[in-house]
Structure 1
């Protein structure tokens, strides 16, 4: 079976582990403090409205982001609460962390809103104001948009580089590399052994890092279509166009993935791959073992569900 016919599985790195998502299930495997591997599993909920929206170009990307963020938050919470705790201490920790469902919902919502506002302030408003501050050097509207994109790219690269220097994030980036290696091994039709996985590239065309970079590039082209002056209009336009930029960037990401085996057009995805040189690191063998365990558990659950659906259809 060619790689193009294989299911397009996705995933993300978490604290001391990897999450993989299939059509019916998402599974995280983490390395515990006692060196054992622990799992967290969430079945994908059936949302007919979401499924319909995910078939609409430019809308499906936003829906996918919402869905992946909702699932990813739960997997990140699991990994951050468990990775540095001995298994025998689980019950004690859970008692200490016990909270009402309502409090948990409001807590996650508050963190999500604050993170969103902070992220948009840093990566949308600051580059805009920096560009305005040098308008006396770059007075033209096109010049302003280009210099704004330049500042946004510099902020992104500096931010990623700085956090990658911390030991904790460096390990997350190693697991990110392990995730990509496992996906590449699967898509290339090789058995999932540590040796085979380690022989694969840590870069992948469908990576969220590539998506982030494409939002910067796509944004510059979209901003050419709206007024740059006055400053208040420029700020409002940037905020209002966030869904548009996200939707187009998702389609660009999917396009570059489909063209990755076309000799010349494959280079369209290279800027995203270059960014992944910062957001992924070469994993160690024990980290690859965790990634393989996560993927295998996800595949087991996917096959069980598909088998159950086929049996139900025959009844």
Structure 2
């Protein structure tokens, strides 16, 4: 079975296969699982995903649709920060501090890291990676095998973030703060992430895995590993049953 994706939550781990998603949750001392069939990709999405420099926005739209609550929260935070940091504001009730897009991105990155490291999300994220690493080597999982695996993974979305961020910093230093710099950085960063050019990608992997280890994961306990193992086990059962 091929793993098409994984995700960690506050008390859960999700794995995605060819046909299904399986979510395993730990709540009130018990592990429960939920299986959902994947939605078929729309024709327009399939077409856009094959066009270089356009497919990055297809992926972005899919992410916005899937995680619309998080994006709505981010928009609200951006709006509030604009009110607070807009240097042109004359309000006597606000302290106004000039801030550029790079500083804004760094703020969100730090905030995201703090949330992950201060909650169980980091531990479930690490468990997700360790289970995926172990399963890709040997589908017959045991806790002993899983515990020996690294808590970083080559396919983690962190690597896409690092790819984008490197492109943005370089273009920002050359062209300054501009909306088109943000868009072009996303396009180039996505294409680098998708195509993995050897020399550049090796550097991104080093930085990405360092970020995964230090900022986006925490050492998991056995219960986190067991939850992730339950998710991948149920997914494998469902995918294999679907092929019979």
TM range (shorter): 0.7 to 0.9
After superposition, what is the alpha-carbon deviation per residue over 1:59-112, rounded to whole angstroms, capped at 9, x for unaligned? 3333234334544x4xxxxxxxxxxxxxxxxxxxxxxxxxxxxxxxxxx66x64
Between the aligned partners of 2:217 and 2:187, the Cα distance in structure 1 is 25
Q: 1:179, CA displacement in angstroms?
A: 0.7
The residue aligned with 1:271 is: 207
> 1:23 touches 1:44 (CA, 8 Å); kept in 2?
no
> 2:193 touches 2:201 (CA, 8 Å); kept in 1?
no
The residue aligned with 2:93 is: none
After superposition, what is the alpha-carbon deviation per residue over 1:167-221, rounded to whole angstroms, capped at 9, x for unaligned? xx2x111000011111111222352222211111111122122322322211133
Q: Does the C-alpha gap of structure 1 residues 193 and 9 become closer, same or farther in structure 2, counting only changes over 3 Å?
A: farther
TM-score (norm 1): 0.61
Q: Would you say how many aligned residue pairs link Structure 1 and Structure 2?
A: 233
Between the aligned partners of 1:290 and 1:281, the Cα distance in structure 2 is 15
Superposition RMSD in Å: 3.6
Q: Could you say which structure has the higher helix fraction?
A: 1
Q: 1:115, CA displacement in angstroms?
A: 2.0
- SS in structure 1 of the partner of residue 51 of structure 2: coil
Structure whose alpha-carbon radius of gyration is higher: 1
Unaligned runs of 5+ in 2: 89-96
2:162 to 198, 207, 213: 213
> 1:53 touches 1:60 (CA, 8 Å); kept in 2?
yes
Between the aligned partners of 1:278 and 1:284, the Cα distance in structure 2 is 18
TM-score (norm 2): 0.76
Q: Does the C-alpha gap of structure 1 residues 268 and 241 become closer, same or farther in structure 2, counting only changes over 3 Å?
A: closer
The residue aligned with 1:102 is: none
Q: Does the C-alpha gap of structure 1 residues 50 and 30 become closer, same or farther in structure 2, counting only changes over 3 Å?
A: same
> 2:8 touches 2:128 (CA, 8 Å); kept in 1?
yes
2:52 to 45, 48, 57: 57
1:299 to 231, 236, 242: 236
The residue aligned with 1:116 is: 75
| Pair 1:14-2:9 in alignment | yes
